[in-house]
Amino acid sequence: MLPLAALLSGCTSVAYYAQAAHGQFSLLAQARPIDDWLADPEARPAIKAKLETVRQIRRFAVSELGLPDNGSYKTYAQLSRPFVLWNVVAAPELSLKARQWCFPIAGCVDYRGYYSQQDAQEYGEQMRKQGYDVQVLGVPAYSTLGWFNDPVISTFINYPDGELARLIFHELAHQTVYARDDTPFNEGFATAVEEIGVDRWLAAQHNEKMTQAYREYTARKKDFLALLDRCRDKLEANYDSDASDADKLQGKQRIFAELRSEYEQTKQQRWGGYAGYDRWFAMPLSNAHLALIGAYHDLVPAFKALFDRSRDFADFYRQVQRLANEDKAARHIELGDPLPDNGAGPKTKKDRKSERAPAI
């Protein structure tokens, strides 16, 4: 997840900037060095064990992946809430293109974040009244792009070790290269780094149980993304058709009902009843639920191909930075994106076909 609280100013409302600044600095104030937690006799042994793992992951990120050696993920903050912040995602009622919000430093991003769930819900309701589909999404971590030393947070410290490494590699990648106004580029790059990095980290651990647990996690994730990809295809065909808006809305409801049914079948038949994605399906589904899926995953194959052509991580990052310095359309063309001018909007079924995550 890209930066939020530390990077907002001027062009947004004073109240919004105030909550963002307060949330960011409150988070930093609660963070203590990991060494202090490890030396604290009152700290729970389970937390200490996880923080030791974080230190190992952090060292690996620097020595093996060439990620920034700075103060990020060397402190820990224990929060009293389940997420560090909540993002509001909005999309038109007959489109999968996310609404964007623009800020002076971060540029334009496809979500608007709040450190209070109530504030996020209230803003989401305002967007609904304007006719948007809305999702309010809890966020366990985000990057300030190196403007501050991002802490390890209680909102993700208890993830399985493979997923913990994945998240840290992803957020550190955002500190390595960032292109303004280009969510698909930034998230595709960070997701590629996390996937490459976790494969290498797991291989270095020589822990078959941990590796198998992560393989199961990634297999379920691929199944889940394949479900959403097929749903996106159906929705795009529906929205691009010559049907009336009323018929498109009926088709939309039918397609989301089919998604729910397919999910239940997958959960029972392929995952043995694993319910980790139930929360995603707990709210009424809408275009907002799918608006960011492509932004995180559509360009991952292109970045992995670029990595395979690179001499090492340093060379890979140099090439990605060169792309980030180019015009947005030019960088997307070079990555093989067939819709370089479509921002974070979804690709067509034909365009995504070769990139689709296969069902396992």
pLDDT in tens, 165-222: 999 999 999 999 999 989 899 999 999 999 999 999 999 999 999 999 999 999 999 9
Distance, CA of 313 to CA of 119 (rounded, Å):
40
Distance, CA of 17 to CA of 330 (rounded, Å):
33
User: Which residues face 352 on adjacent strands?
Assistant: none
Q: Are 110 and 183 in contact (CB under 8 A)?
A: yes
Q: Can you give the pLDDT at residue 338?
A: 58
For range 348-357, the mean pLDDT: 38
Q: Write down the mean pLDDT value for the chain.
A: 90
Q: Are 250 and 97 in contact (CB under 8 A)?
A: no
Long-range contacts of 308-313 (CB under 8 A, 24+ apart): 312/66, 313/65, 313/66
* 34: three-class secondary structure by DSSP: helix
Distance, CA of 259 to CA of 301 (rounded, Å):
25
pLDDT greater than 50 at residue 344? no
Q: What is the pLDDT of residues 148-171, one digit of tens each?
A: 999 999 999 999 999 999 999 999
